[in-house]
Structure 1
Amino acid sequence: MSADALNRTVLPRLAPELRPPVDPAELRARVVHFGLGAFHRAHQAVYTEQAAALSGEPWGISAVAPRSVGTVRALRGQDCLYSLTERRPDGNRSRVVGAVVDALAMGPDAKAVDALLADPEVTVVTLTVTEKGYHRSASTGGLDTAAAPVAADLAADSDGPLTTVVGRLAAGLAARMRAGAAPISVVSCDNMAGNGAALRRIVHDFVRASAWPDRARVLERMAEAVAFPATVVDRIVPAADESDRAAAVAALGVRDALPVTAEPYRQWVLEDSFAAPRPPWERDGALFVPDVAPYQLAKLRLLNGSHSALAYLGTAAGRTTIAETMATDWGERLVRALCAEVSPTLPAGGPDPVGYADDLVVRFRNPGMRHLLRQIGSDGSLKVTERWLPALRALRARGTHTPVLELALAAWVLGTERADAFTDPAADTLAACWAPSARPSETVRALLRVLGAADLADDDALTAAVAARLPALRAGRVEI
């Protein structure tokens, strides 16, 4: 006999330690979240649930999926409940999370999304839509209004079929401003340097580029009533597979179509500049600071930078996961060497780079984690631009040698040769850089130009050094 499906009716049958720490029926939609992926469900949703439990305040989340109607349907079928399993070296720990009170599909449920964004009781919007969801111009950092989805949204009516998160968010905030509703905070939880300022700029750019006759007034009101705090989020959340669904049944005794697995570690650092009431996330360990930049850069350049390096080098060496890559004789050396090379580019006031590297080695080695290199290496044309290139520029401007970043960049270069090696919005353009008659350094130069890094493409010593690494990597050798 198959197990019953997870929903609210089965909660009383679960052991107390397996149930949510709050009654989901008592929560209200006071936070809107764009991006119904595993990371949000293992990170912000957990912090919000714990904040509600510890404060007694009914902070619930209405989660909006930009594209995945199937995920919305599956989550609704479970009364928006799902399981979270922490993969610990000493054994897994599972429980049900109940922070999400509704799930919406951004297109089909557009009117409901707009109603939430205009609701005075909703005072926080959070986003995990990955770097590509922002449609930023590589050259300006602002909104890429020439991108086809953005251009289509700008040409549509504000209540029409908007397909980008920035368009839907800008239209919803504009309606809120026109109605004179209460202030609101919009919180980017994506891995970008200055993510708060970046989100503020693209939302303002969208309004500015729109045909709305009152756009100047909307922008004026947004400047007063909409805050865009910067954040740093950290938790490794691998993609779930069938084994995770089977493990959820074993742990809970019920079927969960949307289980989430994560490492035990989690961190959330937020700029203390909110415009409206928010969940007391600090009750669950979130850190509110005047400036998140030192934490943000440490996370981007040390953790995310190492993660990407492990993904591309591990793939070149025939590995499949982070843990497998760390089990090589060079995995730990790579992480420590990259952190040491990049740490001089970090500002004061953040975590200690040596201690941070120690933590990364422990986290990446966790045998309970199966974090796929293909997942981490996806969207490399966007991630590499954020994670490696600013540090590379800073170090080379000082005349500092950059052998580890050159090695990592060479592994990424090798991964672009075939458009199907890693998923990437620019995969075809990247693959086209591999002209049969081109010298390796010319290919490296062309790929850097695709990244918007013409300055690095013109650095002959850099392109030659990266190209020189390719033969060993083709042979599966990683030489640090």
Structure 2
Amino acid sequence: MDRLNRAALGALPPASRPRVDPTELRTRIVHLGIGAFHRAHQALYTESAAARSGEPWGIAAVAPRSAATVDALRAQDCLYSVTERRPEDDVPRVVGALTGAYALGRDGALVHALLTDPEVTVVTLTITEKGYRAAGPDTVIGHLAAGLAARMRSGAAPVSVVSCDNTADNGAVLSRAVRDVVRNSGRPDRERILDRMAEAVAFPATVVDRIVPATTPGDLTATATALGVHDALPVSGEPYRQWVLEDRFTAPRPPWELDGALLVPDVAPYQLTKLRLLNGSHSALAPLGIAAGSTTVADAMAEGWGERLVKALCAEVAPTLPDGGPDPARYADDLVARFRNPAMKHLLRQIAADGSLKITERWLPALRALRERGAATPVLELALAGWVNLTRGHGIPDPAQDALTACWRTGADDTAVVRALLTTVGAPDLADDSALVTAVVRHLPALRAGHVDI
């Protein structure tokens, strides 16, 4: 079977062709993080914005680690397909938004040149939560900071740097990370660079939302059958997608609102709703579903406890949300419908990865707020028990895996282990909450037996 590339576009079904002519785009955006989420989310918004406005917004996509992904994209003229997973049908379409693909290590000089190019006015990032904690010179943040500093020295045009990761207040987090690298660089002009950045570089906050499961061998086969050509990098996503952006840009940007993006003065209500309800529910479903023998989110939702868990968690956490965002009850109903979509094969193990980072943002702030008010927290206690159970020998990747495993090697009882785990993830205050720890421990025997009681 022929490979997907520009020469193959004319033979594709009309509905599967790109919305733009890839040859007419110019590189005006640099994206750091070339994974499936970006390709199923921001790249689609950008392609639609270019198609509807007639402006040639193209994306140079940079892989922080995977040169194999870069090579596969280049072999396909930077084309790939996205499939919307609906219960009734799956129709892939090819996306033509990418103008180039680069590996950060191998193509570092080219990436640096792009970051300083005056025609590039937007930089976007999907580097996951842990990417913002790694700020050395050879990290994504380090390369970004070096590129922005060089841009400021050259007097190049202003630029907006847009985090698209599930991190609370992601714009401010990214700004601090970048500025810390510049401040610690030792360069004699660092204060002048920081002053210039304050005027010429914006870090708007955003909220991104679309469930994008890992690609399976079956997806490769189904996509090739539907397109008639082989796509080595297909991605899929649920029909729903959302992008909320703080309307604070210092340079031209694509008119993403033409494809439904929301430009708002304050994203915080949307951000917390999504982080604590959607992401929080995902992080609860994953370890509990794995304990119960489920494989995907839809599998867990097919069990009687799945819907109860999502609705109860949303109701429990809702009092911690600010005014001005979506209605929590309606949002919970939407989540149930999205999670139950049988066409989605969103793996629980994928969601459970890096749990020590995720729960500190998705659960613990709400848990603290509720317990400070004296409110009951039975669902978050059950969720924590699921995470505790998962840290013991389930093979889920986590950057703190060695420290988490060490908590179980002490030979202590469950109470001591739970306290140690909470302390390890930076929550000694919760570890000292005896009522909380006791409630978490109470759930562990049932979870070890594969039962989720809610």
Which of 352, 375, 380 does residue 355 from structure 2 map onto? 380
CA shift, 1:421, in A, is 2.3
Q: Which secondary structure does the structure 2 equivalent of 1:274 belong to?
A: coil
Among 26, 29, 32, the residue aligned to 2:30: 32
TM-score, normalising length: structure 1: 0.94
Match of 1:79 in 2: 77
Q: Could you tell me which amino acid in structure 1 is paired with residue 83 of structure 2? A: T
Matched, 1:405 2:403: no
Q: Distance in 1 between matches of 2:228 and 2:26?
A: 28
Matched, 1:478 2:445: no
In structure 2, the partner of 1:426 is 400
Kept in 2, the 8 Å contact 1:34–1:128? The answer is yes
What one-letter code is carried by the residue in structure 1 that aligns with 2:237? A
Q: Secondary structure at the match of 2:49?
A: helix
With structure 2 as the length reference, what TM-score do the two structures score? 0.99
Aligned to 1:284: 259
1:242 corresponds, among 208, 217, 230, to 217
Q: Return the alpha-carbon distance in structure 1 between the equivalents of residues 212 and 431 of structure 2.
A: 34
Query: In the alignment, what sits opposite 1:92?
Result: 90
1:254-289 deviation digits (Å, cap 9, x = unpaired): 000000011000000000001100000000000000
Q: Secondary structure at the match of 2:123?
A: strand
Unaligned runs of 5+ in 2: none
Give the drift of 1:435.
3.3
5+ unaligned residues in a row in structure 1: which ranges? 137-142, 144-149, 154-161
Aligned 1:212-291 pairs, distance under 5 A: 212-291=187-266
Q: Matched residues in 2 for 1:107 and 1:28: separation?
A: 23
How many residues matched? Answer: 454
- Aligned position for 1:393: 368
Deviation of 1:389 (Å): 0.4
Question: Counterpart of 2:407 in 1: which secondary structure?
Answer: coil
Give the aligned partner of residue 16 of structure 2. Answer: 18
Query: Contact (CA 8 Å) 1:326, 1:365: kept in 2 or not?
Result: yes
**SS of residue paired to 1:275:** coil
Q: What is the DSSP-based 3-state SS (H/G/I as helix, E as strand, rest coil) of the residue aligned with 1:61?
A: strand
Per-residue CA shift, 1:162-205, capped at 9, x if unaligned? Answer: 2x100000000000000011100000000011000000001011
Q: Deviations over 1:14-42 (max 9, x none)?
A: 12211001000000110000000000000
Aligned to 1:158: none
Deviates more, 1:466-475 or 1:57-66: 466-475
2:439 maps to which of 438, 452, 465 = 465
Q: Hey, what does 1:350 align to over in structure 2? A: 325
Q: Aligned partners of 2:164, 2:331: CA distance in 1, in Å?
A: 21
* Contact residue 184 and residue 275 of structure 1 kept, 8 A: yes
Once the two structures are TM-superposed, the CA of residue 461 in structure 1 deviates from its matched residue by 1.0
**Using the alignment, how far apart are the partners of 1:218 and 1:448 within structure 2?**
40
- Matched residue SS, 2:165: coil
Instruction: After superposition, give the CA deviation of every residue in 1:200-258 in whole Å (9 maximum; x if it has no partner).
Output: 00101111111212111111111110000000000000000111110111110000000
Do 1:435 and 1:443's aligned partners in 2 also have CA atoms closer than 8 Å? no
Supply the distance in 2 between the matched residues of 1:356 and 1:421 (Cα, whole angstroms). Answer: 32
Q: Measure the CA separation in 2 of the matches of 1:463 and 1:428.
A: 22
Q: Which amino acid aligns with 2:321?
A: L
Q: Secondary structure at the match of 1:433?
A: helix
Q: Which residue of 2 aligns with 1:339?
A: 314
1:431-464, CA deviations, whole angstroms, 9 ceiling, x for partnerless residues? 1101353121111111111111111111111111
Residue number among 98, 103, 106 corresponding to 1:105 in the alignment? 103
The amino acid that maps onto 2:75 is G
1:467 Cα offset (Å): 1.0
Counterpart of 1:303 in structure 2 is: 278
> What is the RMSD computed on CA atoms of the aligned residues?
0.8
SS at match of 1:6: coil
> Shift of residue 426 of structure 1?
0.7
Give distance in 1, aligned partners of 2:165 and 2:234. Answer: 21
Q: 1:443 aligns with which of 417, 436, 442?
A: 417
- In 2, Cα distance between equivalents of 1:212 and 1:436: 46
The DSSP-based 3-state class of the residue aligned with 1:432 is helix
Structure 2 counterpart of 1:293, from 268, 281, 284: 268
**1:449 alignment partner, SS class:** helix
Q: How high is the sequence identity, in percent, across the aligned residues? A: 70
In 2, the alpha carbon distance for the partners of 1:93 and 1:337 equals: 34
Q: In 2, Cα distance between the equivalents of 1:31 and 1:69?
A: 20
Give the letter aligned to residue 409 of structure 1.
Answer: L
Asked if the contact 1:407/1:466 (under 8 Å) is kept, the reply is: yes
1:317 alignment counterpart: 292
- Name the amino acid aligned to 2:45: Y
Q: 1:58 is matched with which residue: 56, 59, 75?
A: 56
Aligned residue identity for 1:381: S
